[in-house]
Amino acid sequence: MKRPTLREIPLDEVKLLPGSLLFTMSVNQWDHLLEAGYNQGATLLELDAHEQPVAAYRRCTCDLCNPTLN
């Protein structure tokens, strides 16, 4: 699967709060599970070969990006 354009967020915005959904993925990894998680608002944390976070992604939930949510 080709990874779509994801909305990147600052790494320091990634917080491991109880109940927050966090998926880890390797660079350029993409699959149906990640896609479903992303679409549901999970945070995706991208790890390099040394398991160091290199980027984080989370869907924007604003009305502008989600005109059908209302």
Binding site for Zn ion (CB under 5 A): 60, 62, 64-65
Residue indicated by tokens 């924007």:
60
DSSP one-letter code for 44: E
- Between 25 and 58, CB nearer to Zn ion: 58
Distance, CA of 35 to CA of 1 (rounded, Å) = 10
Q: Which of 51, 40, 44 is nearest to 3 (CA)?
A: 44
Q: How far is the CB of 65 from Zn ion (least distance, A)?
A: 3
Nearer to Zn ion, 36 or 65 (CB): 65
Nearest approach in angstroms of CB 8 to Zn ion is: 13
Kindly tell me which of 52 and 61 has the beta carbon lying closer to Zn ion.
Answer: 61
What are the beta bridge partners of residue 26?
Answer: 47
